[in-house]
A and B are shown apart, each in its own frame.
Chain A
Amino acid sequence: MYRYIYLLIIILTITGCSEGDIIDVSINFDGELQNCSNDIDNTFVFYKVDADNKRTLSLSFTSTTYDSTPDSISTDNEPTVITLDETDNILIYREFETAINGSTYFCASVPPSMNEISEEYTSTDGTAEISLEVFNDDDPNNIVYQRTITLKNITFIGDDIEIRREELLLGSDTQVVIPQ
């Protein structure tokens, strides 16, 4: 009899753990890191779209100092830290009813009209760190950097749900710096 109780406890524990895993999978997925910006407004968005084109994770922020295509990078390159807030710097996870096209969904001057959002979580606290590391410097006039965006101490809030993560990788891409 006791054995069954132990077994039951073990099963319950496993089930409890796997619940968390399901949520983790749902806010984190693989996808190519992409970006676009509005230079007049100094607004940027880095985003990825999942393989089915039905989920997006996006970091949007306003910065007068961030340069998404720099022509030089200082040697003591510190990561750019964006502090999330409730107005300009926001991390958003979205699920859509129908597939979207990331490159026309984000930064569209007239927003698309037919993309119904079925689920949305936003984080208005935590930070985003954008770091650059030398990826290939064989050609000094064409140094390739790897840009990585890491989200730290974020709290996704949706309807009746709150997901906290100490660290979440948004993604990385490469960037060629051609000195002017």
Chain B
Amino acid sequence: MLTVVSCDDGDIIVTSFEFDDSTLELCRGSLLNEFVFFKINTTTNEAISYNFTSPIYNDTTVTDTPILIDLENDDNQLVYRQFNNTVTSDYYCNTIPDSDITVTEELISISGEASIIVEIVDEDDNDGVLAINEDVTVNVEDEDINGDGDLENDDTDNDGIPNYKDQDDDNDNVLTSVEIPNNDVTDESFLDTDEDGTPNYLDEDDDGDGIKTINEDLDNDGSPRDDDSDNDGIPNYLDNDDDNDGILTIDEDINQINDARDDDTDDDGIPDYLDTNSDNDEAPSFTGEVSSSLDNTVITTFRTTLTVNNILFGGSNDQFTDEDFSFGFRDQEISITTPK
């Protein structure tokens, strides 16, 4: 009986919090703008939580200055608890409290200040090219083309989207993720069809036939990948002899303007590079300039970092030394798509 009474008095011998190995989690409460950050230690059956209401906090909105919140009441406090049982993350923000869980010890803040920072820690186009090549032993190129350590100034196609965030680095309407794999699993270099030293994902003329990849989209549907005039299984943008007549496309550029599309010797409406003979076996093709049309999706990682400073607990907690507690951080990844 005495033990029980002394427990109820709040004589908890907790000198500091140990949650370094626990993951910081977040849930949204039932009230508007209500959040709970929490960490659960499943080996010691204890948890620490910070619940608050904020109209400006969002785990995917960058904070210009830290959000500072005074801990002052039930709706905004730091709570440390020990349990009789293992708790899971649905302990918080649930509609009905779990009847199997009993709180055996509890510390509740009466004052303090929370600081919440949200920043972007990573942006990647997921195109298969590492944003920063961290493994120097593997011979892979990274998106820091000029090697100056700054990813922002590498924009091969000058479309305003730096390569590390650009899913189509050369703006040829063929995604980088499609253009980099070569057919040799032992070869880690990127595919370079015309072997001009510029890999396809950075090459605006992948087959070196003088016609830009983007313009080998004969049906102008925004994808050069479905255009194969000679039906040889190699789409025109990778085919250096588009009509399979034995004369390379680049050599069918009669007027030598670096584009074979305006050369039609027999005036049948089919340019020579697609014309195997003089009979009209193909419809005239689109010979205008195709514009880039691919939406760009960037995977962005937002990081929330939470610390609570100058913590004061109710009851007697003279032994407590951790007056500042760092919850650590929590990352949230989202896809942001920019339409062309």
Contacts and interface: CB of A to CB of B under 8 A. Distances in A.
Contacts of B97: 105, 108, 111-112, 115
Contacts of A44: 95
B91 interface: yes
A109 B95 contact: no
A43 interface: yes
A57 B127 CA distance: 54
Nearest to B28: A40
A38 B79 contact: no
Contacts of A39: 30
B51 interface: yes
Given A105-B97, A106-B96, A113 B103 contact: yes
B79 A110 contact: yes
A27 to B, nearest CB: 16
A90 B93 CA distance: 17
Contacts of A51: none
Interface in A109-135: 109-117, 120
A36 interface: yes
Nearest to B52: A109
Interface string B73-111: 000000101000000000111111111011100100000
B96 A114 contact: no
Given A110-B36, A110-B49, A110-B51, A58 B96 contact: yes
A38 B103 contact: no
B22 to A, nearest CB: 17
Nearest to A94: B99
B294 interface: no
A117 B93 contact: no
Contact of B92 (A92, A109, A113, A115): A109
A109 B96 contact: no
A138 interface: no
Contacts of B199: none
Given A38-B30, A39-B30, A107 B95 contact: yes
Contacts of B51: 109-110
Given A37-B30, A39-B30, A111-B91, A60 B96 contact: yes
Given A43-B95, A94-B99, A110-B92, 15 more contacts: A36-B30, A41-B28, A90-B96, A92-B96, A105-B97, A107-B29, A107-B31, A109-B27, A109-B34, A111-B97, A111-B101, A113-B81, A114-B103, A115-B97, A117-B99
Contacts of A157: none
A57 to B, nearest CB: 12
A160 B203 CA distance: 76
18 contacts: A37-B30, A38-B29, A38-B94, A39-B30, A40-B93, A41-B28, A58-B96, A60-B96, A90-B96, A92-B96, A109-B27, A109-B29, A109-B36, A110-B51, A111-B91, A113-B106, A116-B102, A120-B99
Contacts of A38: 28-30, 93-95
A104 B98 CA distance: 15
Interface in B271-322: none
Interface in A28-56: 36-41, 43-45
A136 B242 CA distance: 76
Contacts of B27: 40, 109
Nearest to B47: A110
Q: Chain B CB within 10 Å — which of A38, A94, A106, A109 has the most?
A: A109
A106 B29 CA distance: 11
B303 to A, nearest CB: 21
